[in-house]
Chains A and B, each alone.
Chain A
Amino acid sequence: MMKQFAIGAFIIIAIVQWFVPGKMIWDKEAVLRKGKIFNFRTEPVDPSHPFKGRYIALSFKENAFTTTSPDSGLFNYGDAYVLLEKDGDGFAKIKNVVKQKPLAAPDYVQASISYIDRKKDTAVIHLQYPFDEFYMDEFKAPKAETVYRESTRDSTQKTYAIVSILNGDAVIKDVMINDQSIRQAIRKMDSRE
């Protein structure tokens, strides 16, 4: 009886152990397949996570929003919804930041408010996106930073992240340097060496 109970309980926990990573995959696959693509201008550096390995920490240029009629709810730190649109060059631009989940707006992403700079009639809301880590091969990640630095010497070059967005969730598809994947840029750098 006890053994059967233990096996039953183990099967349940085994299913949960599959469900949690499975749900992660399911949700992110849906965002990649059905999501709308936005390009976010970036500024990468490479730290590491003890389990997930090396990644490029992305700092986005479009990470603050100035509001002239601050929604009082926004003055509480925590989660917020960032409504997005595209600017003239096709890069992501913040249209508005709201505290409640938007029902009508098609393109939005859930982010957290990291800092609010209060002024007399306005407030600058600084945001942290849930897609600021781009994981790479441990040997390539440090090179990615070098490639990025080289690209910033030339002001005509652009670095940005391609992000797929669906129902507030987001997945980074790639990080681009001058319309070329950062992985390709590293390969080119390796072949030059």
Chain B
Amino acid sequence: MSKSFVKELHELVGANIITQVTAQEIADYYKHREKDRPNRFSAVVNILGALLVSLGIVLVVAHNWDELGRTAKTFFAFLPLAIGQGLCLYVLLKKKNNIAWREPAGVILFFAVASSISLISQTYHISGTISDFLLTWMLLTIPLVYILPSSIVALLYIAGITWYACATKYFNYPDDAVPFYYLLLLALVIPHYYSYLTHKKESNFFHLLNWLLVLSVTIVLGSFSGGQDRTEWVFTGYLALFSVFYLLGRLESFSNQKLFANPFLIVGTLGTICILMFWSFDWSWTDAYRYSDIDRPSIYFSPFLYVTISILIVAAWLVLSGYRTTKTIIFDPTGFSGFVLLVLLLAFRSLPHIAVLFINLWILFLAVFFIHKGALQDHLGILNFGLFIIATLAVLRFFDDEIPFIWRGFFFLITGAGFFAANYMMVKKRKAIVKK
């Protein structure tokens, strides 16, 4: 308990606001709470220390010690592993509830497994891709997430499987391999995530898990597209994913969190707006139309289209389950953007100008929705986000040669007037509240 807090309590007793007994009870409560709360600072410092030491060991191993013989190298391959396992066993026996011991021990064993495999691979000159290495490493360390249990290992594991998927697809040539194992590897961490979702929603680890999962899935989704897939379906797939993120972010579990702790809402909203902005250009649609008839006989001959539809089914299920629990559909158009792009691509591919008009109107609709929501909730952040969408759209259209100057001129005049009107109405509303 801080000195200033004790001083404040004395002041309150002195001013007869609380009694001496109440002051003592408050002091006891905070003392008790501090005792129950694990030492966060020492846990963070230990985790960082363990990370740095482990990475140091990995780098020292990567030097390749030619002077050492095979026996010595084998000994050093198993040494970090034995130390890491010894620490974890000690934690399981004596320090199971001490986060300052548990998490660093997990980190050390996590990297010890990597350095052990690396050193043996060097000793025997075992060739192999980085994806194979990561796959073995991740499978050997995922049990630590549940046995210790270690949340930092879960975070490192998600980063590792993301790297695995990228190494298999994006950093590989030829890029025809699809990282299907990623789905299985991701499924292995879901029970851990679920236990946090149900019991430790306020924990910082839960927020970090959310961020890493959202970023990982966003990065990896594209790796499931192949040479057969058309670019527009990859875009639609991403938009469908962002729709799912947005709908998840609006669920009660996440919407009650602070904004930074809701990556589903942040990534979902920003991703949706970015993709819609891309499709608001005329050339996006004319290119999609042009290449569709030259390259492939049918637009349906693209496996990624079916991935997209599957993600949209999840989005539809989220909308319906939201309806079942609240019994009303609060119409928020952002989560429907994936469906809109899919329908436009299927129905208006041969009429690009109409599709462009629809997408621009849809973006305007989203902007108006955010402005309206911001005004209703008296939330300047949301209102400004809506205005920001319109401003971005206006800038993009300013440089769009396909639209006649007169239309662009009118659009700018209306948008500018909209800004003044929104600001005026907000200020007026606030004044009215102050008067009341």
- Contact surface of A with B, Cβ cutoff 8 Å: 3, 6-7, 9-10, 13-14, 16-18, 20-21, 24-25, 28, 49-55, 129-138, 140-141, 171-172, 183
Contacts and interface: CB of A to CB of B under 8 A. Distances in A.
A137 B64 contact: yes
A21 B146 CA distance: 22
A21 B143 contact: no
A129 B125 CA distance: 12
A140 B65 CA distance: 10
Contacts, number: 118
B140 A16 contact: yes
A17 B118 contact: no
Given A137-B63, A137-B66, A171 B124 contact: yes
B116 interface: yes
B426 interface: no
Contacts of B161: none
B309 interface: no
B120 A25 contact: yes
Interface of B: 58, 61-67, 74, 77-78, 81, 85, 88-89, 92-93, 96, 109, 113-118, 120-128, 130, 133, 136, 140, 143-144, 146-148
Contact of B89 (A10, A53, A183): A10
23 contacts: A6-B92, A7-B89, A9-B143, A10-B88, A10-B148, A17-B109, A21-B116, A24-B117, A24-B120, A24-B124, A49-B133, A51-B114, A51-B115, A52-B122, A52-B133, A53-B63, A54-B62, A54-B64, A130-B128, A132-B127, A137-B66, A141-B64, A183-B66
Nearest to B60: A53
A23 to B, nearest CB: 10
Contact of A52 (B62, B65, B78, B89): B62
Contacts of A54: 62, 64
Contacts of A10: 88-89, 92, 143, 147-148
A141 B124 CA distance: 16
B118 to A, nearest CB: 4
Contacts of B120: 21, 24-25
